[in-house]
Amino acid sequence: MTYIEKPQIAFYQKVGELFYAVAAADKVVRESEYDALKKLVRDVWSKYDSSVDDYNSQAIYQMEVVFDWFDYERTDADACFESFENYLKEHPSLFTEERKKLIYLTANEIADAFSGKNKSELIILAKLQLLLAT
């Protein structure tokens, strides 16, 4: 494991914010959507990055922490997506092709976690796909 710099921690926090936006696109965050995120963090993201933060925790778990916090606060999905979009535009070098693929894969799985994708989730996934293509 390697120590992770603060900008990388912010990266995972912003990605967690995006994943919350996907789950909250239809105004309801379901447990199955949060469970999908946790499973992908554990099974996929952990193989990609084992960096640790100041507390010796894997930095990727920041995605779950932020998701959970935004759900508790009932934050607006559109505001979360816009925040992620701004972050991506300000820090494009952090978004490698591999990370972009993982982000879209995870967002897609979260959207599909409860009875398939609805219209709101399809719209946000389309916006994400266009954003990641830039």
CA-wise closest residue to 66 among 116, 113, 27, 29: 29
Determine the pLDDT at residue 31: 95
Number of domains making up the chain: 1
Q: Is residue 124 part of a domain?
A: yes
Is residue 43 a part of any domain in this protein? yes
- In a domain, residue 1? The reply is no
Residue 27 in any domain: the answer is yes
Supply 130's token pair: 């266009």
What's residue 7's pLDDT? 62
Range of the domain at 35: 6-133
pLDDT at site 58: 77
In the predicted model, residues of the chain with pLDDT beneath 70 are 1-7, 50, 52-56
**Residue closest to 95 by CA, chosen among 59, 44, 134, 39:** 134
Amino acid 103 reads I
